[in-house]
Amino acid sequence: MSASNNSSSSASTFTLIGIPGLEAANFWLAFLLCSLYLLAVLGNGTIIYIIKAEQSLHEPMYLFLCMLAAIDVLISTSTMPRMMDLLWFNSTTIGFDACLLQMFCIHSLSAMESTILLAMAFDRYVAICCPLRHAAMLTSPRIAKIGLAAVIRGATVMAPFPIFIKRLPFCRSRVLSHSYCLHQDVMKLACADIKVNIIYGLIVITSVIGLDSLLISLSYVFILRAAFSLRQEARLKALGTCTSHVCAVFLFYVPFIGLSMVHRFGKIHGSNIHVVMANVYLLVPPVLNPIVYGVKTKQIRQRITRLFQRTTH
């Protein structure tokens, strides 16, 4: 194929899919998706509003939670409206540049979320293992710098993905196996050597998701060791402050690992698992994180109750 043909082939479109075999239920699937999206935006928006409005919640744990909620709103907004358009109006075609933009948003925001979860683990580690240094170490300016570092890290590490995809020719079927664009999905459609994409993808997974999850695990090893040296009441109180974060970690990493495994062994399980796991990966954390923090965190729960009491009177 000539260079000109390769170029024109790259600047084309891709076809998204819904859930194979459930086309007849697309309307109700989209309705469910819309409900979950609104719940995610409302829940995370409420968390952000409460933390911003309540001066007493301007502490490291809640400020990091506010960042996490903002990322969850952005990541769901970058995918859910397009998926609803696909299911409701059968709008299966997505432009090449739009696909690259969506891909960059998904991957960069996921990296940012992983970084914030790591920062929250560090906050819990300092609060429990070095309580006297907590206020001095995690000042408001330092927290803002950590948030900025998370944004820069996510954007910088994921920026090469669209560049690598843009250089590839696409001369086969352009039907993606998901309802949105992922790097590992798009690159498989190329009719050229994708070793660079594969190697860089492995480097990113190892240096971001792998490293972050390892450091989070290590922080909890130290947290548990410090907590079990306390008296029972103090131990329960210390571990209670970690419950919500542990739930958020599992909600983020388990679907991510599951989706990675499905991509690795996709030929065994079939395309339905690909689509379901991909949707779970994007839907579960934004929807459940505010519920977990609202239920498990006393201060958040009290403010939410007070907010609803004011709105009903």
* DSSP string over 46-112: HHHHHHHH-GGG-SHHHHHHHHHHHHHHHHHHTTHHHHHHHHHH---EEEHHHHHHHHHHHHHHHHH
With CA atoms as reference, report the closest residue to 176 among 110, 79, 32.
79
What is the model's pLDDT at position 268?
46
Q: Name, in order, each residue with C-beta under 8 angstroms of 40's C-beta and a sequence gap of 6 or more.
A: 72, 73, 76, 80, 283, 286, 287, 290
Q: Is 19 exposed, middle or buried (0-12, 13-18, 19+ CB in 10 A)?
A: middle
What is the model's pLDDT at position 48?
95
What is the model's pLDDT at position 2?
42
- Residue ranges in the chain modelled with pLDDT below 50: 1-11, 268-270
Residues composing the chain: 313
Which residue bears the tokens 């792998």? Answer: 210
What is the model's pLDDT at position 116?
98
* DSSP string over 125-183: HHHHHSGGGHHHHS-HHHHHHHHHHHHHHHHHHHTHHHHHHHTS---S--B-SSSS--H
- 47, 248 in Cβ contact below 8 A? no
Torsion of Cα atoms, 218 then 224 then 227 then 233, to 10°: 140
What is the model's pLDDT at position 103?
95
Backbone angles phi, psi at 228, to 5 degrees: -75, -5
In the chain the domains, ranked by start, together with CATH numbers, are: 22-312 (1.20.1070.10)
What is the model's pLDDT at position 271?
54
